[in-house]
Structure 1
Amino acid sequence: MFSFITNFKKNANRKKLKDSAFEFLFDDDKSGEYVVFDTETTGLNPKVDEILSIGAVKIKDNRVLTSQTFEVFLQNSKEISSNSIKIHGIRPFDLKDAKTTKEGIVEFLNFIGSRPLIGYYLEFDVAMINRYTKPLLGINLPNKMIEVSEIYFDKTISLIPQGNIDLRFDTILKNCSIPNMGAHNAVNDAIMTAMIYLKLTKEKE
Protein backbone atom coordinates (compact mmCIF):
# COMPACT_ATOMS: atom_id res chain seq x y z
CA MET A 1 0.00 0.00 0.00
CA PHE A 2 2.81 2.39 0.96
CA SER A 3 4.63 1.62 -2.29
CA PHE A 4 1.43 2.33 -4.26
CA ILE A 5 0.98 5.70 -2.56
CA THR A 6 4.64 6.58 -3.13
CA ASN A 7 4.42 5.70 -6.84
CA PHE A 8 1.15 7.62 -7.18
CA LYS A 9 2.71 10.76 -5.68
CA LYS A 10 5.81 10.36 -7.86
CA ASN A 11 3.72 10.04 -11.03
CA ALA A 12 1.58 13.02 -10.06
CA ASN A 13 4.75 15.03 -9.47
CA ARG A 14 6.20 13.90 -12.80
CA LYS A 15 3.16 15.15 -14.72
CA LYS A 16 3.91 18.65 -13.44
CA LEU A 17 7.43 18.67 -14.94
CA LYS A 18 7.80 21.70 -17.23
CA ASP A 19 11.08 20.72 -18.89
CA SER A 20 11.56 17.24 -20.41
CA ALA A 21 15.35 17.70 -20.12
CA PHE A 22 14.93 16.84 -16.43
CA GLU A 23 13.05 13.57 -16.94
CA PHE A 24 16.19 11.83 -15.65
CA LEU A 25 15.23 12.84 -12.11
CA PHE A 26 12.41 10.28 -12.26
CA ASP A 27 14.47 7.40 -13.68
CA ASP A 28 15.11 4.27 -11.63
CA ASP A 29 18.57 4.75 -10.20
CA LYS A 30 21.03 2.05 -11.26
CA SER A 31 24.23 3.75 -10.12
CA GLY A 32 24.31 2.11 -6.69
CA GLU A 33 25.25 5.53 -5.31
CA TYR A 34 23.76 7.82 -2.70
CA VAL A 35 24.13 11.59 -2.45
CA VAL A 36 24.52 13.24 0.96
CA PHE A 37 23.85 16.97 0.86
CA ASP A 38 23.51 20.04 3.01
CA THR A 39 22.56 23.67 2.48
CA GLU A 40 23.63 26.91 4.12
CA THR A 41 20.82 29.47 4.12
CA THR A 42 19.89 32.99 5.16
CA GLY A 43 17.52 31.57 7.79
CA LEU A 44 15.31 28.66 8.77
CA ASN A 45 12.08 29.49 6.93
CA PRO A 46 11.91 27.81 3.48
CA LYS A 47 9.07 30.13 2.47
CA VAL A 48 11.12 33.32 2.70
CA ASP A 49 14.77 32.45 3.22
CA GLU A 50 17.29 31.72 0.48
CA ILE A 51 20.08 29.22 -0.14
CA LEU A 52 23.60 30.62 0.04
CA SER A 53 25.47 27.40 -0.69
CA ILE A 54 24.89 23.70 -1.41
CA GLY A 55 27.43 21.01 -0.58
CA ALA A 56 27.17 17.34 -1.47
CA VAL A 57 29.18 14.13 -1.66
CA LYS A 58 28.50 10.68 -3.08
CA ILE A 59 28.58 7.31 -1.30
CA LYS A 60 29.19 4.02 -3.10
CA ASP A 61 30.08 0.54 -1.85
CA ASN A 62 30.20 1.77 1.75
CA ARG A 63 32.74 4.44 0.89
CA VAL A 64 32.49 8.22 0.95
CA LEU A 65 33.72 9.40 -2.44
CA THR A 66 35.49 12.54 -1.25
CA SER A 67 36.94 12.95 -4.74
CA GLN A 68 33.39 13.54 -5.96
CA THR A 69 32.19 16.46 -3.88
CA PHE A 70 29.88 19.20 -5.09
CA GLU A 71 29.82 22.80 -3.92
CA VAL A 72 28.09 25.85 -5.31
CA PHE A 73 27.43 29.34 -3.96
CA LEU A 74 24.23 31.10 -4.99
CA GLN A 75 23.39 34.73 -5.42
CA ASN A 76 20.87 36.07 -2.91
CA SER A 77 18.51 39.02 -2.91
CA LYS A 78 18.59 39.78 0.82
CA GLU A 79 21.15 41.11 3.24
CA ILE A 80 22.83 38.30 5.18
CA SER A 81 22.20 38.79 8.88
CA SER A 82 25.09 38.84 11.34
CA ASN A 83 23.48 35.94 13.22
CA SER A 84 23.47 33.68 10.16
CA ILE A 85 27.06 34.68 9.32
CA LYS A 86 28.09 33.45 12.79
CA ILE A 87 26.62 30.04 11.90
CA HIS A 88 27.81 29.45 8.35
CA GLY A 89 30.59 32.03 7.99
CA ILE A 90 29.42 33.10 4.52
CA ARG A 91 29.91 36.84 4.05
CA PRO A 92 28.62 39.01 1.19
CA PHE A 93 32.21 39.12 -0.12
CA ASP A 94 32.23 35.32 -0.42
CA LEU A 95 29.32 35.52 -2.86
CA LYS A 96 30.88 37.97 -5.32
CA ASP A 97 31.38 35.15 -7.87
CA ALA A 98 28.25 33.23 -6.87
CA LYS A 99 26.07 31.69 -9.57
CA THR A 100 22.47 32.55 -10.27
CA THR A 101 19.98 30.37 -8.45
CA LYS A 102 18.95 28.78 -11.75
CA GLU A 103 22.55 27.90 -12.67
CA GLY A 104 23.30 26.52 -9.22
CA ILE A 105 20.13 24.45 -8.90
CA VAL A 106 20.54 22.98 -12.41
CA GLU A 107 24.12 21.96 -11.57
CA PHE A 108 22.91 20.36 -8.33
CA LEU A 109 20.14 18.44 -10.09
CA ASN A 110 22.61 17.11 -12.65
CA PHE A 111 24.91 16.03 -9.81
CA ILE A 112 22.24 14.11 -7.88
CA GLY A 113 20.31 12.62 -10.81
CA SER A 114 17.78 10.11 -9.49
CA ARG A 115 20.05 8.88 -6.67
CA PRO A 116 18.64 8.52 -3.14
CA LEU A 117 19.37 11.54 -0.96
CA ILE A 118 20.73 11.38 2.58
CA GLY A 119 20.89 14.21 5.10
CA TYR A 120 20.62 15.46 8.66
CA TYR A 121 17.20 17.05 9.08
CA LEU A 122 16.90 16.52 5.35
CA GLU A 123 13.31 17.74 5.28
CA PHE A 124 14.50 21.33 5.69
CA ASP A 125 17.20 21.10 3.00
CA VAL A 126 14.78 19.47 0.56
CA ALA A 127 12.17 22.16 1.28
CA MET A 128 14.81 24.79 0.48
CA ILE A 129 15.69 23.09 -2.82
CA ASN A 130 11.99 22.73 -3.67
CA ARG A 131 11.58 26.47 -3.22
CA TYR A 132 13.61 26.80 -6.40
CA THR A 133 12.65 23.65 -8.35
CA LYS A 134 8.93 24.38 -8.02
CA PRO A 135 8.92 27.66 -9.98
CA LEU A 136 11.76 26.54 -12.25
CA LEU A 137 10.51 23.05 -13.20
CA GLY A 138 7.07 22.74 -11.61
CA ILE A 139 8.13 19.81 -9.41
CA ASN A 140 9.43 18.87 -5.99
CA LEU A 141 12.50 16.66 -5.71
CA PRO A 142 11.28 13.12 -6.50
CA ASN A 143 14.32 11.32 -5.03
CA LYS A 144 14.08 8.81 -2.21
CA MET A 145 14.98 10.48 1.11
CA ILE A 146 16.99 8.95 3.97
CA GLU A 147 17.20 10.79 7.31
CA VAL A 148 20.25 9.95 9.46
CA SER A 149 18.71 11.28 12.69
CA GLU A 150 15.87 8.76 12.29
CA ILE A 151 18.36 5.91 11.84
CA TYR A 152 20.26 7.11 14.91
CA PHE A 153 17.05 7.41 16.94
CA ASP A 154 15.88 3.90 16.00
CA LYS A 155 19.28 2.49 16.92
CA THR A 156 19.54 4.37 20.22
CA ILE A 157 15.99 4.03 21.55
CA SER A 158 16.52 0.32 22.18
CA LEU A 159 19.36 1.25 24.55
CA ILE A 160 17.44 4.06 26.27
CA PRO A 161 13.79 2.96 25.80
CA GLN A 162 12.31 5.65 28.06
CA GLY A 163 15.01 8.26 27.81
CA ASN A 164 15.33 11.43 25.81
CA ILE A 165 17.47 10.93 22.74
CA ASP A 166 19.80 13.84 22.00
CA LEU A 167 19.60 14.33 18.24
CA ARG A 168 21.93 17.29 17.98
CA PHE A 169 24.44 16.88 15.16
CA ASP A 170 27.52 17.24 17.36
CA THR A 171 26.14 14.65 19.79
CA ILE A 172 25.46 12.11 17.04
CA LEU A 173 28.92 12.81 15.61
CA LYS A 174 30.58 12.18 18.98
CA ASN A 175 28.57 9.05 19.79
CA CYS A 176 29.41 7.61 16.37
CA SER A 177 33.11 8.35 16.97
CA ILE A 178 33.27 10.51 13.85
CA PRO A 179 35.93 13.25 13.89
CA ASN A 180 34.60 16.80 13.71
CA MET A 181 36.02 18.44 10.60
CA GLY A 182 35.87 21.85 12.26
CA ALA A 183 34.88 24.40 9.64
CA HIS A 184 31.09 24.55 9.42
CA ASN A 185 30.19 24.58 5.74
CA ALA A 186 27.88 22.63 3.47
CA VAL A 187 30.54 20.30 2.04
CA ASN A 188 32.10 19.42 5.41
CA ASP A 189 28.66 18.86 6.93
CA ALA A 190 27.72 16.59 4.03
CA ILE A 191 30.92 14.54 4.43
CA MET A 192 30.42 14.18 8.20
CA THR A 193 26.78 13.19 7.65
CA ALA A 194 27.93 10.59 5.11
CA MET A 195 30.33 9.11 7.68
CA ILE A 196 27.55 9.00 10.28
CA TYR A 197 25.28 7.19 7.81
CA LEU A 198 27.91 4.58 7.02
CA LYS A 199 28.73 4.06 10.70
CA LEU A 200 25.06 3.55 11.60
CA THR A 201 24.13 1.33 8.66
CA LYS A 202 27.25 -0.85 8.88
CA GLU A 203 26.60 -1.49 12.55
CA LYS A 204 22.95 -2.15 11.79
CA GLU A 205 24.00 -4.83 9.30
Structure 2
Amino acid sequence: MLRRWIEERLPRRMLPEGRWSHLADPYDGDEVVVLDCETSVFDKKRGELLSVAAVRVRGNQIRLTEALDLTIRSDAVTDPKAVRVHYLRREDRMEGVALAEAIEKLLDFIGNRPICGFYIEYDRAILNRYIRELYNFKLPNRFIEVSEIYVKSKRRHHIHEVHLDLTFEGLARDLQVPIVERHTALGDVISTALMYIKLTGFGPPR
Protein backbone atom coordinates (compact mmCIF):
# COMPACT_ATOMS: atom_id res chain seq x y z
CA MET A 1 0.00 0.00 0.00
CA LEU A 2 2.80 2.42 0.86
CA ARG A 3 4.54 1.73 -2.44
CA ARG A 4 1.29 2.42 -4.31
CA TRP A 5 0.88 5.68 -2.36
CA ILE A 6 4.41 6.69 -3.35
CA GLU A 7 3.90 5.72 -6.98
CA GLU A 8 0.79 7.88 -7.19
CA ARG A 9 2.69 10.94 -5.97
CA LEU A 10 6.09 10.57 -7.63
CA PRO A 11 6.75 10.33 -11.35
CA ARG A 12 7.59 6.74 -12.20
CA ARG A 13 11.13 7.65 -13.20
CA MET A 14 11.75 9.07 -9.72
CA LEU A 15 11.10 5.75 -7.94
CA PRO A 16 14.14 3.62 -7.03
CA GLU A 17 14.54 0.55 -9.21
CA GLY A 18 16.81 -2.47 -9.41
CA ARG A 19 19.34 -2.56 -6.60
CA TRP A 20 17.59 0.30 -4.79
CA SER A 21 13.96 -0.76 -5.22
CA HIS A 22 13.74 -1.87 -1.57
CA LEU A 23 14.06 1.75 -0.45
CA ALA A 24 10.39 2.27 -1.30
CA ASP A 25 9.24 -0.81 0.64
CA PRO A 26 7.33 -0.29 3.91
CA TYR A 27 9.64 -0.21 6.92
CA ASP A 28 8.60 -2.42 9.81
CA GLY A 29 11.72 -2.16 11.96
CA ASP A 30 12.49 -0.07 15.03
CA GLU A 31 15.39 2.10 13.86
CA VAL A 32 15.69 5.67 12.65
CA VAL A 33 18.68 7.05 10.75
CA VAL A 34 19.84 10.49 11.86
CA LEU A 35 21.96 12.25 9.25
CA ASP A 36 23.63 15.56 8.49
CA CYS A 37 25.42 17.04 5.48
CA GLU A 38 28.02 19.79 5.26
CA THR A 39 28.21 21.71 1.97
CA SER A 40 30.40 24.21 0.14
CA VAL A 41 27.82 27.00 0.38
CA PHE A 42 24.58 27.32 2.32
CA ASP A 43 22.35 26.92 -0.72
CA LYS A 44 20.45 23.70 -1.45
CA LYS A 45 20.54 24.38 -5.21
CA ARG A 46 24.25 25.20 -5.47
CA GLY A 47 25.91 23.71 -2.41
CA GLU A 48 28.28 20.83 -3.14
CA LEU A 49 28.44 17.96 -0.69
CA LEU A 50 31.63 18.02 1.37
CA SER A 51 30.81 15.56 4.15
CA VAL A 52 27.95 13.42 5.37
CA ALA A 53 27.44 11.47 8.57
CA ALA A 54 24.68 9.17 9.77
CA VAL A 55 23.90 7.04 12.80
CA ARG A 56 21.17 4.51 13.45
CA VAL A 57 19.06 5.04 16.56
CA ARG A 58 17.16 2.20 18.21
CA GLY A 59 15.15 3.06 21.31
CA ASN A 60 17.47 5.09 23.51
CA GLN A 61 20.61 3.72 21.88
CA ILE A 62 22.76 5.54 19.37
CA ARG A 63 24.66 2.85 17.50
CA LEU A 64 27.79 4.96 17.31
CA THR A 65 30.23 2.11 16.61
CA GLU A 66 28.42 1.59 13.30
CA ALA A 67 28.27 5.29 12.40
CA LEU A 68 28.92 6.46 8.87
CA ASP A 69 31.23 9.48 8.64
CA LEU A 70 32.45 10.39 5.17
CA THR A 71 34.43 13.31 3.78
CA ILE A 72 33.94 13.79 0.05
CA ARG A 73 36.97 14.20 -2.21
CA SER A 74 36.14 17.57 -3.72
CA ASP A 75 37.90 20.64 -5.03
CA ALA A 76 34.70 22.67 -4.88
CA VAL A 77 35.15 26.37 -4.23
CA THR A 78 33.81 26.97 -0.74
CA ASP A 79 32.28 30.05 0.77
CA PRO A 80 34.73 31.39 3.39
CA LYS A 81 31.78 31.68 5.77
CA ALA A 82 31.07 27.97 5.31
CA VAL A 83 34.71 27.05 5.95
CA ARG A 84 34.63 29.02 9.20
CA VAL A 85 31.64 26.88 10.20
CA HIS A 86 32.63 23.34 9.19
CA TYR A 87 36.44 23.79 8.82
CA LEU A 88 36.58 21.60 5.68
CA ARG A 89 39.32 23.24 3.65
CA ARG A 90 40.21 21.97 0.17
CA GLU A 91 43.38 20.27 1.43
CA ASP A 92 41.35 18.49 4.13
CA ARG A 93 39.08 16.98 1.47
CA MET A 94 41.69 15.51 -0.83
CA GLU A 95 41.90 12.29 1.22
CA GLY A 96 38.12 11.81 1.09
CA VAL A 97 36.06 9.32 -0.90
CA ALA A 98 34.58 9.87 -4.35
CA LEU A 99 31.10 11.37 -4.38
CA ALA A 100 29.48 8.36 -6.09
CA GLU A 101 31.02 6.01 -3.54
CA ALA A 102 29.78 8.18 -0.66
CA ILE A 103 26.20 8.21 -2.00
CA GLU A 104 26.29 4.44 -2.52
CA LYS A 105 27.54 3.85 1.02
CA LEU A 106 24.91 6.21 2.42
CA LEU A 107 22.03 4.54 0.58
CA ASP A 108 23.20 1.12 1.78
CA PHE A 109 23.44 2.46 5.33
CA ILE A 110 19.98 4.06 5.33
CA GLY A 111 18.01 1.37 3.54
CA ASN A 112 14.29 2.04 3.85
CA ARG A 113 14.50 3.37 7.42
CA PRO A 114 12.99 6.74 8.36
CA ILE A 115 15.48 9.61 8.11
CA CYS A 116 15.71 12.21 10.87
CA GLY A 117 17.59 15.47 11.19
CA PHE A 118 17.67 19.14 12.11
CA TYR A 119 16.55 21.22 9.13
CA ILE A 120 16.32 17.86 7.33
CA GLU A 121 14.74 19.41 4.23
CA TYR A 122 18.10 20.96 3.39
CA ASP A 123 19.90 17.62 3.62
CA ARG A 124 17.09 15.96 1.71
CA ALA A 125 17.38 18.47 -1.15
CA ILE A 126 21.17 18.14 -1.34
CA LEU A 127 21.12 14.34 -1.35
CA ASN A 128 18.22 14.09 -3.81
CA ARG A 129 20.09 16.28 -6.26
CA TYR A 130 22.99 13.83 -6.38
CA ILE A 131 20.87 10.68 -6.19
CA ARG A 132 18.76 11.91 -9.09
CA GLU A 133 21.89 12.52 -11.16
CA LEU A 134 23.42 9.14 -10.32
CA TYR A 135 20.39 6.85 -10.16
CA ASN A 136 17.42 8.83 -11.45
CA PHE A 137 15.28 8.68 -8.32
CA LYS A 138 14.59 10.62 -5.14
CA LEU A 139 14.67 9.29 -1.60
CA PRO A 140 11.22 7.80 -0.89
CA ASN A 141 11.96 7.37 2.83
CA ARG A 142 9.89 8.97 5.56
CA PHE A 143 11.56 12.16 6.84
CA ILE A 144 11.38 13.39 10.43
CA GLU A 145 12.22 16.96 11.45
CA VAL A 146 13.42 17.22 15.05
CA SER A 147 12.34 20.84 15.45
CA GLU A 148 8.76 19.91 14.43
CA ILE A 149 8.60 17.26 17.15
CA TYR A 150 9.92 19.88 19.58
CA VAL A 151 7.26 22.43 18.60
CA LYS A 152 4.48 19.83 18.91
CA SER A 153 5.71 18.85 22.36
CA LYS A 154 5.64 22.50 23.47
CA ARG A 155 2.16 23.04 22.08
CA ARG A 156 0.90 20.24 24.29
CA HIS A 157 2.02 22.44 27.18
CA HIS A 158 0.35 25.50 25.58
CA ILE A 159 3.66 27.12 24.63
CA HIS A 160 3.47 28.81 21.21
CA GLU A 161 6.42 28.48 18.84
CA VAL A 162 6.77 32.28 18.63
CA HIS A 163 8.19 32.10 22.17
CA LEU A 164 10.67 29.35 21.35
CA ASP A 165 14.30 29.47 20.31
CA LEU A 166 14.23 27.09 17.34
CA THR A 167 17.94 27.26 16.57
CA PHE A 168 20.05 24.14 16.97
CA GLU A 169 21.66 25.66 20.05
CA GLY A 170 18.25 26.68 21.43
CA LEU A 171 16.85 23.15 21.23
CA ALA A 172 20.01 21.64 22.69
CA ARG A 173 19.93 24.07 25.61
CA ASP A 174 16.26 23.55 26.40
CA LEU A 175 16.51 19.76 26.07
CA GLN A 176 19.79 19.73 28.03
CA VAL A 177 21.59 17.94 25.23
CA PRO A 178 25.35 18.44 24.78
CA ILE A 179 26.53 20.07 21.56
CA VAL A 180 29.17 17.72 20.20
CA GLU A 181 31.72 19.26 17.81
CA ARG A 182 29.19 21.70 16.33
CA HIS A 183 29.14 21.90 12.53
CA THR A 184 30.99 18.69 11.98
CA ALA A 185 28.59 16.27 10.32
CA LEU A 186 29.13 13.53 12.90
CA GLY A 187 29.01 15.92 15.86
CA ASP A 188 25.72 17.42 14.71
CA VAL A 189 24.32 13.94 14.09
CA ILE A 190 25.11 12.81 17.65
CA SER A 191 23.51 15.90 19.20
CA THR A 192 20.47 15.61 16.94
CA ALA A 193 20.09 11.93 17.82
CA LEU A 194 20.10 12.84 21.52
CA MET A 195 17.41 15.47 20.87
CA TYR A 196 15.31 12.90 19.02
CA ILE A 197 15.62 10.38 21.85
CA LYS A 198 14.60 12.95 24.47
CA LEU A 199 11.66 14.23 22.43
CA THR A 200 10.22 10.85 21.53
CA GLY A 201 10.70 9.09 24.84
CA PHE A 202 12.84 6.40 23.23
CA GLY A 203 10.51 5.62 20.38
CA PRO A 204 9.46 6.83 16.93
CA PRO A 205 6.92 9.67 16.88
CA ARG A 206 3.30 8.75 16.21
TM-score (norm. length: structure 2): 0.88
Look up the match of 1:83: 81
SS of the residue 1:37 aligns to: strand
Look up the match of 1:122: 120
SS of the residue 1:136 aligns to: helix
Displacement after TM superposition at 1:164 (Å): 2.6
Look up the match of 2:189: 190
Q: Is the aligned partner of 1:9 residue 2:6?
A: yes
Look up the match of 2:35: 37
Look up the match of 1:67: 65
Whole-Å Cα distance in 2 between the matches of residues 12 and 61 of structure 1?
31
TM-score (norm. length: structure 1): 0.89
2:69 partner amino acid = E
Contact 1:14 1:139 in 2 (8 A): no
Q: Is the aligned partner of 1:137 residue 2:135?
A: yes
Displacement after TM superposition at 1:184 (Å): 2.8
Tell which deviates more after alignment, 151-160 or 54-63: 151-160
Aligned-residue CA RMSD (Å): 2.4
Look up the match of 2:105: 107
Figure out how many residues of one structure are paired with residues of the other and give that number: 202
1:166 partner amino acid = D
2:41 partner amino acid = G
Whole-Å Cα distance in 1 between the matches of residues 162 and 9 of structure 2?
40
Whole-Å Cα distance in 1 between the matches of residues 106 and 161 of structure 2?
41
**Cα 1:163–1:99 shift into 2, 3 Å:** closer
1:48 partner amino acid = R
Whole-Å Cα distance in 2 between the matches of residues 160 and 121 of structure 1?
21
Contact 2:37 2:123 in 1 (8 A): yes
**Cα 1:23–1:200 shift into 2, 3 Å:** same
Look up the match of 2:44: 46
SS of the residue 2:170 aligns to: helix
Displacement after TM superposition at 1:162 (Å): 7.3
SS of the residue 1:49 aligns to: coil
Look up the match of 2:177: 178
Alignment of 1:152-163 (within 5 A): 152-157=150-155, 158-161=157-160, 163=162
Unaligned runs of 5+ in 1: none
Contact 2:39 2:49 in 1 (8 A): yes
Tell which deviates more after alignment, 110-119 or 10-19: 10-19
Contact 1:38 1:54 in 2 (8 A): yes
SS of the residue 1:25 aligns to: helix
**Cα 1:21–1:12 shift into 2, 3 Å:** farther
Tell which deviates more after alignment, 32-41 or 175-184: 175-184
2:88 partner amino acid = I
